[in-house]
Amino acid sequence: MDKFVIEGGKKLSGSVKISGAKNSSLAIMPAALLNNGLNSFTNIPEVNDIYTMIKLLKHLGVESSFENGNLSLNTSKIISQDAPYEHVKKMRASIYVLGPLLSKYGYAKVSMPGGCAWGPRPVNLHIESMKKLGAEIELKDGYIIATAKRLNGAPIHFDVASVGATGNAMMAAALAKGNTLITNAAIEPEITLLAKYLEKMGARIQGIGTNKLEIEGVDELMPAKINNISDRIEAGTLLIAGAITKSKIEIEVDEIDNLNAVITKLKDSGARVEVLANKVSIDAENLEIGSVDVATSVFPGFPTDMQAQWTAYMIFGNGTSTITDNIYSDRFMHVPELVRLGANIQIVKNSAVVKGVKKLQGAKVMSTDLRASASLVLAGLAAQGETEVLRIYHLDRGYQRIEEKLKQLGASITRAATAEF
């Protein structure tokens, strides 16, 4: 088990390159199941969730090679349509194999993902959309068992815009017979990339990037190549690392528009943010951090995956800020840990009310989930003295060697093995 040991209070400087996005990778990798052959992806991050997806795909018969962000997936010898609990329990995004397996092979047996550390995360919308496309669904022994001779295109309306359910529905509809109209589709950049990849395979999709997707099913899809987008959450996290340490740093990142919500809030807090062609610089030297409210919402709103990091930043605000999570109302596991460092935060319903304090004092804290861990690292960078962040396996699920990036910027952060749990 690894932990981070952070000596807080160091100023950061310099430039760092943002890795490819985890969440888009987890959508495009299972999409390769829709064809038979060699698919190539570039800019895939070397994080544990990607290795988990590779293992799940291997169980289904997919051969892979993964080096320096270049991933190839050969889907020509699929041997199973069964995603067992041992894989799915590690990562909810495993549910993404449901749509492609069902649509291509007429059968999928996928373990129901459980809840998360911060609360329930249902999959009803995934199941309902497969039913709309004509699948028979049986829920048995903790598994979703889906069958269909061939899926039939159909209208699908989501009452809640869901990233995963939109992805699954789009993948399934790509090989269905006839047309599918998805309304209130998610428009997150990760879904847009998935749609573009499906198009490269030969799928017919209108309305990409909008919340109305029209998919004309085709009989066959071909292997394809695609370059992954930058990780907007890693980018946002590192910008906050610059702001919370009152430093001046730069990140190299593509698709900068995807960061607009976070950049706007950083500017509102008084940080000077400049956007160049493929770089964003942040200058927070001598900044009196303004307290800024945030309410998470679907893209292009402020992402729930940045809520914990924003909460950490607001600990040092000059007043009171209210940070509301409208996507996951219970996602505040980081708060008691931040309070252990000296933060003044109260949870009121689905909001964290943060009263700014002048300083934090380093302590041992424990990661509870991926983005919560990131907020603890950020707080540790700005705290006085030493902070130990335990259980960083959560962080390793989604951030590619973040300690190396932070070290490159001048932070004092070390990974160390520990027997402590």
The contact mask relative to ligand UD1 for 116-145 (x = CB under 6 A, - = no) is: -----xxxxxx-------------------
Work out which of 5, 6, 12, 26 binds ligand UD1, going by CB under 6 A: 26
| 63-102 positions binding ligand UD1, by CB under 6 A | 92-93
| Residue 143 C-beta: closest distance to ligand UD1, Å | 16
Of residues 125 and 354, the one with the C-beta less far from ligand UD1: 125
Antiparallel, parallel or unpaired: β 143-147 and 107-111: antiparallel
Of residues 235 and 249, the one with the C-beta less far from ligand UD1: 235
Among residues 418, 413, 351, which one has the least CA distance to residue 382? 413
DSSP H helical segments within 315-388, as ranges?
334-340, 370-382
Please, are residues 278 and 256 in contact by the beta-carbon 8 Å criterion?
yes
| Residue 337 C-beta: closest distance to ligand UD1, Å | 19
Binding-site residue total for ligand UD1 (CB under 6 A)? Answer: 22
Work out which of 44, 190, 337, 405 binds ligand UD1, going by CB under 6 A: 190
At residue 116, the 3 state secondary structure works out as strand
Antiparallel, parallel or unpaired: β 136-140 and 107-111: unpaired
| 307-346 positions binding ligand UD1, by CB under 6 A | 327-328
Is residue 138 packed enough to be buried (19+ CB in 10 Å), middle (13-18) or exposed (0-12)?
exposed
Of residues 125 and 383, the one with the C-beta less far from ligand UD1: 125
Work out which of 1, 117, 139, 160 binds ligand UD1, going by CB under 6 A: 160
Question: What tokens appear for 334 in the block?
Answer: 């980081």
Neighbouring CB atoms inside 10 A of 293's CB total 16
Q: Which stretch binds ligand UD1 (CB under 6 A): 62-70, 254-262, 298-306, 332-340?
A: 298-306
Q: Is-cis flag, bond preceding 300, omega within 30?
A: yes
Of residues 142 and 319, the one with the C-beta less far from ligand UD1: 142
Please, are residues 290 and 270 in contact by the beta-carbon 8 Å criterion?
yes
| 201-260 positions binding ligand UD1, by CB under 6 A | none
Q: Which stretch binds ligand UD1 (CB under 6 A): 8-16, 78-86, 159-167, 308-316?
A: 159-167
Q: Which stretch binds ligand UD1 (CB under 6 A): 133-141, 157-165, 198-206, 279-287?
A: 157-165
Work out which of 8, 18, 23, 362 binds ligand UD1, going by CB under 6 A: 23
Residue with token string 């996928």: 110
Antiparallel, parallel or unpaired: β 351-355 and 320-324: antiparallel
CA distance 130 to 144: 11
- Give bridge partners of residue 302 from the DSSP assignment: 296
DSSP 392: T
Question: By CB under 6 A, is residue 28 in contact with ligand UD1?
Answer: no
CA distance 167 to 99: 8
Of residues 55 and 355, the one with the C-beta less far from ligand UD1: 55
Q: Which stretch binds ligand UD1 (CB under 6 A): 3-11, 176-184, 236-244, 300-308?
A: 300-308
Q: Which residues are catalytic?
A: 116
Q: Which residues of 119-135 are buried (b: 16+ CB within 10 A; e: fewer)?
A: eeeebebbbbbbebbbb
Question: By CB under 6 A, is residue 165 in contact with ligand UD1?
Answer: yes
The residue sitting closest to ligand UD1, measured at its beta carbon, is 164
Q: Which stretch binds ligand UD1 (CB under 6 A): 9-17, 28-36, 278-286, 302-310?
A: 302-310
At residue 122, the 3 state secondary structure works out as coil
Work out which of 20, 100, 164, 236 binds ligand UD1, going by CB under 6 A: 164
Q: What are the residues binding ligand UD1 (CB under 6 A)?
A: 23, 26, 92-93, 121-126, 160, 162-165, 186, 190, 303-305, 327-328
